[in-house]
Amino acid sequence: MTHPASQDDSSSQPSQGEPSQAPSGPVRSPTAHGRRRRPGPTRLPALGFGAAQLGNLYRVTTDEEARGAVGAAWDGGVRLFDTAPHYGIGTSERRLGALLASYPREEYLLSTKVGRLLVPGPGDGDDMAHGFAVPDSHRRVWDMSGAGIRRSHVESLERLGLDRVDVLYLHDPEEGPTEQAFAEALPTLAAMREEGLISHVGVGSKDVDVLLRAVRTGLVDVIMLSGRYTLLEQPAAAELLPACLEHGVEVVAVSVFNSGILSRPEVPDDAKYEYGTAPVDLLQRARHLAALAAEHGVQLPDLAVRYPLRHEAVSSVVLGMRTADQVRQNLERFARTIPEELWEQIDA
């Protein structure tokens, strides 16, 4: 069973006793890297809004919270938004589409995902088994056939209330019918790109081997890499990221807090890693990084949101955010200058 969010489930959180506040000065645009982009068909902004929380991830997100989060993201310069049918069994797509309706469509990029169809469910319970506080009026069914991919795309557009998305990701192919994903889904997505139905073909996964296989097909424009190139661990660095550079594939990094262990300035004993209790060696590593950050006047989450973008293959970081305060704090973290000496100590 897939985990609820391929974005990080733990948005950057305020220090204990210290409320989130809006940046006190101008924030550098999250659409700019401060480094040269390589040529290519896509131009993804450096910071994106992950909308899993709009699908009531773990708890109900109120309409006021959702409206405030999207509004704060827009006001802060965020122009990349990501959702999926999986997030709240369509709730995230419906909410995000409605909230973006008041903004000019040509001014932002939107991605969603295919691979799971939503079909009528029992309707007598909830979806907390998948991590979403929504009624189980629908359920997910794997379908990575050509027809299933096209149907999922059309149904997502209906929920979003839009006539197009910019990036369409194949979602978690390692957890569904993997061979069908490569034999049917990816060629179908490539055909849809040629037909002008979508702009960019993507694959989203936490499985480095599956993503590497996808990149090497030559059909993919962008991958969404979940938790495999973070401040804490970098298994994607050996083969996957070099392959992305070789094939001209952009990388969107998600789950950059490794599901919680990097989300606070101080690492608690009960910190989560991969949605479970963090092992002792990773707790020690995270605390060492937190201490280094403090010595240089910054915080552990500041490093976490910036670290992936240090690799030339990584174009964007997408952060899951629920409230306006979370958005503003993440924008502040994203804009904070990290001393080069600190990066050198981390790399040593």
pLDDT per position as a tens digit, 127-181 = 999 999 999 999 999 999 999 999 999 999 999 999 999 999 999 999 999 999 9
The answer as to whether 36 is a domain residue is no
* Alpha helices by DSSP H, the chain: 63-75, 91-100, 146-160, 178-180, 186-194, 208-216, 240-247, 280-295, 300-306, 324-335, 340-347
Q: Report DSSP letters for 312-340, one per residue.
A: TTEEEEEEE--SHHHHHHHHHHHHSPPPH
The answer as to whether 319 is a domain residue is yes
Instruction: Choose among 266, 346, 248: nearest CA to 306.
Output: 346
Rounded distance between C-alpha atoms, residue 42 and residue 251, angstroms = 11
The answer as to whether 5 is a domain residue is no
Rounded distance between C-alpha atoms, residue 78 and residue 236, angstroms = 26
Distance in Å from the first CA to the final CA of the chain: 37
The answer as to whether 34 is a domain residue is no
Instruction: Give the domain extent around 181.
Output: 47-347
Q: Report DSSP letters for 35-58, one per residue.
A: SPPPPSS----SEEEE-SGGGTBS
Compute the Cα dihedral for 294, 296, 298, 303 and give only its sign. Answer: negative
Instruction: Choose among 106, 95, 113: nearest CA to 153.
Output: 113
For residues 4 and 252, the model is more confident at 252
Q: Encode pLDDT of 197-246 as tens digits.
A: 999 999 999 999 999 999 999 999 999 999 999 999 999 999 999 999 99
The answer as to whether 33 is a domain residue is no
Please report, as a single letter, which amino acid is at residue 256. Answer: V
Alpha carbon distances (Å) from 202 to 49, 192, 231, 257: 17, 12, 24, 22
The answer as to whether 18 is a domain residue is no
Instruction: Supply 288's token pair.
Output: 């060492």
**Among all residues, which ones are annotated catalytic?**
87
Q: Encode pLDDT of 48-81 as tens digits.
A: 999 999 999 999 999 999 999 999 999 999 999 9
The answer as to whether 203 is a domain residue is yes
Q: How many domains does the chain have?
A: 1
CATH number of domain containing 180: 3.20.20.100
Share of the chain above pLDDT 90, in %: 86
The answer as to whether 8 is a domain residue is no
SS3 306: helix
| 26 pLDDT above the threshold of 90 | no
Per the DSSP assignment, residues forming a β-bridge with 218 are none
Please report, as a single letter, which amino acid is at residue 39. Answer: P
205 contacts 229 by C-beta, under 8 angstroms: no
